[in-house]
Amino acid sequence: MVVESRELAERVELAWSVRASHFPMVIGFDYPVDTALISLSGDRCDLNCAHCGGHYLKHMRPIWDVGEVDAPSCLISGGCDARGRVPVTSHLEEVAALRVGKVMNWHVGFIDREEIEAVAPYVDLISFDLVGDADTAREVYGLDKTIQDYVDTYRLLQEYVRVVPHLTIGLRGGRISGEYEALRALSGLDMEELVLLVLIPTQGTRYADRQPPSIEAVTGIMTEARLLFPRTPINLGCMRPHGEYRAKLDVMAVRCGLNKIVSPAREAVRVAEQLGLEIVHTRECCAI
């Protein structure tokens, strides 16, 4: 075990026992090659967020250039306007053409009732990024939003579609800032599944020279999530650092009792086998 704190090590063991009490001895390892990544805005985003700067939009296909999609599922996303809203209604005709026979997972940002009613027929689930404090929202996104604003949007979305909250650990330049508050907010909401992510300091962004949060800090949040939500599937998503960091993190994710890991490190696969977990492989976005 890579954590040094005895107290945290004990919480990891408790988290594993909670997981073993509420779930079968099965873990999902996900390789999401069968989900098409589609942007409604191309590589444009008015926010120029500190952790992304439009970098990740460049890996998505613009909706106007998509044509036919052979994949069984799509992630419909895009950059935001200055209010933190993805232009969800801007290309509904093209989205409708893709809809038949496909599972649609959307990122929408902030949204109003009229917009969610317009896109709901084309949505199977929404992956909703939750931010736990106003300082993080302001520094990262340039938005004056509180945790209550995020909770209100979450509740609105729940009236129409399935919502899977996503929480990025260390989003504020590698600092832990609002993550525990976000978990506590989720504890008062209906939640079928939770996806945890970790900041990747990315070249060309304002956070390029930052460090991701320590493995112990991330482990603390993973254990807190497992203990707060003993019956809720918790996934470690695709957005997290690679290399030695990922090797250590993924091992702790298994030991903390998470249910699914996207593109796991070899070390995590070995630990899962040692713990007697049956491994199930999937090939689409982990929230699907």
Residue 287 counted as domain residue = no
Q: CA 261, CA 213: separation in Å to the nearest integer?
A: 18
Whose CA is closest to 245, among 226, 208, 217, 271?
A: 217
SS3 of residue 259 by DSSP: coil
pLDDT at 1: 64
Rounded to whole angstroms, what are the CA distances from 60 to 243, 246, 248, 254, 288?
Answer: 23, 23, 29, 30, 18
Number of structural domains in the chain: 1
Q: What is the pTM of this model?
A: 0.97
pLDDT at 4: 72
Q: 69-121 pLDDT, tens per residue?
A: 999 999 999 999 999 999 999 999 999 999 999 999 999 999 999 999 999 99
pLDDT at 244: 97
pLDDT at 67: 84
Q: Is the dihedral of CA 145, 54, 128, 234 positive or negative?
A: negative
CATH number at residue 217: 3.20.20.70
Which residue carries 């504890």 as its tokens?
187
Q: 214-232 pLDDT, tens per residue?
A: 999 999 999 999 999 999 9
Whose CA is closest to 277, among 256, 263, 248?
A: 256
Residue 288 counted as domain residue = no
Residue 156 counted as domain residue = yes
269, pLDDT greater than 70: yes
Q: CA 58, CA 204: separation in Å to the nearest integer?
A: 13
Long-range contacts of 177-181 (CB under 8 A, 24+ apart): 177/132, 177/133, 177/135, 177/136, 178/131, 178/132, 178/133, 178/135, 178/136, 178/147, 179/132, 179/221, 180/132, 180/221, 180/224, 181/132, 181/133, 181/147
Residue 140 counted as domain residue = yes
Q: Looking only at Cα atoms, what is the longest distance across the chain? A: 56
Q: CA 179, CA 175: separation in Å to the nearest integer?
A: 10
The predicted model gives 35-52 an average pLDDT of: 95
- b/e map 39-55, b = 16+ CB within 10 Å: bbbbeebebebbbbbbb
Residue 222: domain span: 6-282
Burial of 82 (0-12, 13-18, 19+ CB in 10 A): exposed
- The pLDDT > 90 percentage for the chain reads 95
> What DSSP string describes 132-171?
--HHHIIIII-----HHHHHHHHHHHHTTSEEEEEEEETT
Helices (H), the chain: 6-22, 92-99, 113-119, 134-136, 147-158, 179-186, 215-228, 243-255, 266-274
Q: CA 159, CA 113: separation in Å to the nearest integer?
A: 10
Q: Is the dihedral of CA 253, 254, 256, 262 positive or negative?
A: positive
DSSP letter, residue 8: H
Residue 1 counted as domain residue = no
Q: 148-195 pLDDT, tens per residue?
A: 999 999 999 999 999 999 999 999 999 999 999 999 999 989 899 999
